[in-house]
Amino acid sequence: MQQLVDQLIQEGYFEGVPKDFVYTGFMVLVALLVLSFFVAPLAGITSWLERRVWARIQSRVGPNRVGPQGILQWLADGIKNLLKEDIIPTAADKRLFALAPYVVFVGFFATFVVIPFGSQLIVADLNIGILYLLAITSLVVVGILMAGWSSNNKWSLLGGMRSAAQIVSYEIPAGLALLTIVFAAGTLSMQGIIKAQGWAPWDWLLFYNPFTFAAFFLYFTAALAEGNRTPFDIPEAESELVAGYVTEYSGMRFLFFFFAEWGNLYVIGAIATTLFLGGWQIPPITDHPVLVGILQFIVFFLKAYLWVFVAMWVRGTLPRVRVDQLMSLCWKYMVPLSFICLLGTAAWMVIWPQGNRVASFVMFLIGVAILGLFFRRVRFQIRHAQPVLYWKPYI
Amino acid sequence: MVPLHYYLFLSAILFAIGAAGVVIRRNLIVVLMSIELMLNAVNLTFIAFARALGSMEGQVIVFFVMTVAAAEAVIGLAIIISVFRHRQTLDPQEMLLLRW
Amino acid sequence: MILFFILAALSVIFSLAVVFQRNPVHSAMALVATLFLVAVLFLTLDAPMVGFLQILVYAGAIMILFLFVIMLLNPEALERRRVFWWGLGSTAALVLIVEMAALLSAIPAREGRIAAVAEGFGSPEMLGRTLFRDFVLPFEIASVLLLVAIVGAVVLAKREL
């Protein structure tokens, strides 16, 4: 990326323009391109897919009218929301009310800077990538509190406070789980962490030792809670708080909150993939640079999207937890467990500084066994319940 | 490259604004926020000097200043909450009990 | 250079807003913006680690705490402006600025020039090395300080233990 811009400057395309301006201009251009051709369709299609998956889980049909199988539903929703009147309540604090959705959105969108889609396909490989991720997502909390307070509505305020308390608490287990991986990989850079892994599952940091294996589940749960997803969606619990901090929002601003929420799902999956699941690493089957790039992107995208699907599945099947249950889960169970993971990995690295291949392989086998047991149980449930299954994915 | 002076001058301005906030404002929470602003101005000088001298010690000191700022904010806010419970006010002018 | 002036102007504007906004929530939001801009200034000074820590610690934790307390206490009345204190504070601030400007302009410009630094300056490796080699004792004391702060906050804010 930087090399390309440098080359263009050298060839004299930008005579007389300060170098910083050229860089800034390119950054803005790339951000716009990524936003309109990747993040917007991604969040939109995720919203459509989520509704279809739930519908499937709940024996309904789901949106299937706009486009083939309703895949263009997100465009129709977007246009509808754009055309709606942008209502700002008279009692609201106008400036903060107007600003809040953008703060939330920037906090989510800026994470795409450090997500490595391929060995070359990354906006900026910061040498403190993970710290950047943790820091920039904390903007979301500020935006949510802003939205909750400025709406001047008790549901919004309660939702905002709940959400902020939840995000701040769950940042600790999530951060500690990420630090476990930083220990094992020995770097804070996203590309560096991927390069510390291999394409084969037993080379992934997920199976590095039992502690990183546990850290993965801690991270995924904490990330779901940070993204305000069911079963941890008490900030927007419909039965208690109408819609939480988004109660007073309508039209485009409402859309921005949900844009951030659905996009954030993919970011969670992408971070999990980068840190634990080998990222874009592919087996050495070809040398062609373009082909390798495409394969890396596909591998990364599918691994990350798998976790989006798991999050939808969880949302469709688990009930919501109570506020006190949520807090005690975080502080009494997840924080101590993540400390154990951190210290355990540190001890492991003292005993086997080069890692332990046998242990990795055993962990891999255990992982496969767990997955096998899970699917056996699912099969038993399906046999037992004898539902009328039809394998057409559409109606 | 921006000269060191500019950073020092900026942090002087920020520090003075924070100090003015401590004197002007009659709301304990905002007074605490002004103190945070002053601490941050000091951090900026440390970072600027660390860069100018090429030594990491300035950055490490900033690390400690942040720790102290966090501790100070936590204790300060706890005191404010317990004072508010007794007096129903945040105005430091009305907290006269210990003055004489 | 241009970047510095933009950042400096914005941070001064927002820090003025911290002091002069009458609503504490607006003050807090302006403070978040100021801290963010100062963090970006840290980045321009080759201190990325400290800059992101600043965003993480201040915007992510300390300011959330402030906002929580403001919303919890929800002081109804906007505070009254007091002309005497207002004048005193502004004068004090101006005197402070002039004094510091005088001091700063006394330094010869040649000494204020910023030299080039070694590769990897401000990287996590270098910060960690300095922190855990030369500053181990202060580091441990800082952790004890944080523990004391946690205990103190719980003791102070809890109604009955």
Instruction: Looking at chain A, list the stretches that DSSP marks H as alpha helix, in order from N- to C-terminal side.
Output: 2-10, 19-34, 40-57, 73-83, 94-109, 129-150, 154-185, 190-195, 210-226, 238-241, 251-276, 289-317, 323-328, 335-351, 357-385
Across chain A, what does the average pLDDT equal?
Answer: 81
pLDDT above 80 for B100: no
More confident residue, C134 or A6: C134
* Chain A contact set for C32 (CB, 8 A): 142
Q: Based on the fold, state whether residues C71 and C150 are members of the same structural domain.
A: no
Element (H, E) at C131: helix C124-133
Q: Based on the fold, state whether residues C115 and C143 are members of the same structural domain.
A: no
Q: Based on the fold, state whether residues C116 and C128 are members of the same structural domain.
A: no
The full set of domain ranges for chain A reads: 1-75, 84-368
Q: Based on the fold, state whether residues C156 and C92 are members of the same structural domain.
A: no
**Complex ipTM value:** 0.83
> What is the residue range of C145's domain?
123-161
Classify residue C96 as exposed, middle or buried by CB count within 10 Å of its CB (0-12, 13-18, 19+).
Answer: middle
Separation of CA C21 from chain center: 18
- Among A109-118, A353-362, B31-40, the range with the most confident prediction by mean pLDDT is B31-40
Q: Based on the fold, state whether residues C15 and C52 are members of the same structural domain.
A: yes
Q: Based on the fold, state whether residues C111 and C74 are members of the same structural domain.
A: yes
3+ Cβ–Cβ pairs closer than 8 Å linking B and A: no
Neighbours of A352 (CB within 10 A): 13
Q: What share of chain A in percent tops pLDDT 90?
A: 3
Put simply, the chain B residues between 5 and 64 with a CB less than 8 A from any chain C CB are 5-10, 12-27, 29-30, 32-34, 36-37, 40, 43-44, 47-48, 50-52, 54, 56-57, 59-60, 62-64
Closest CA to B71 of C135, C141, A169: C141
User: A14-58 pLDDT, tens per residue?
Assistant: 655 666 666 677 777 777 777 777 778 888 888 888 888 888 787
Q: Based on the fold, state whether residues C61 and C134 are members of the same structural domain.
A: no
Q: Based on the fold, state whether residues C116 and C131 are members of the same structural domain.
A: no
C46 → closest Cβ in B2, B23, B51: B51
Average pLDDT over residues A74-90: 82
Domains contained in chain B, CATH given: 4-89 (1.10.287.3510)
Classify residue A98 as exposed, middle or buried by CB count within 10 Å of its CB (0-12, 13-18, 19+).
Answer: middle
- How many structural domains is chain C composed of? 2
- C112·B15 Cβ contact <8 A: no
Q: How close, in Å, is residue C83 to chain A by CA atoms?
A: 27
Q: Based on the fold, state whether residues C57 and C21 are members of the same structural domain.
A: yes
Separation of CA A293 from chain center: 22
Q: Based on the fold, state whether residues C9 and C48 are members of the same structural domain.
A: yes
pLDDT category of residue A2 using cuts at 50, 70 and 90: low
Asked if A139 is an interface residue toward chain C (Cβ–Cβ < 8 A), one would say yes
User: C13-61 pLDDT, tens per residue?
Assistant: 888 888 887 788 888 888 888 988 888 888 888 888 888 888 888 877 8
Q: Based on the fold, state whether residues C101 and C73 are members of the same structural domain.
A: yes
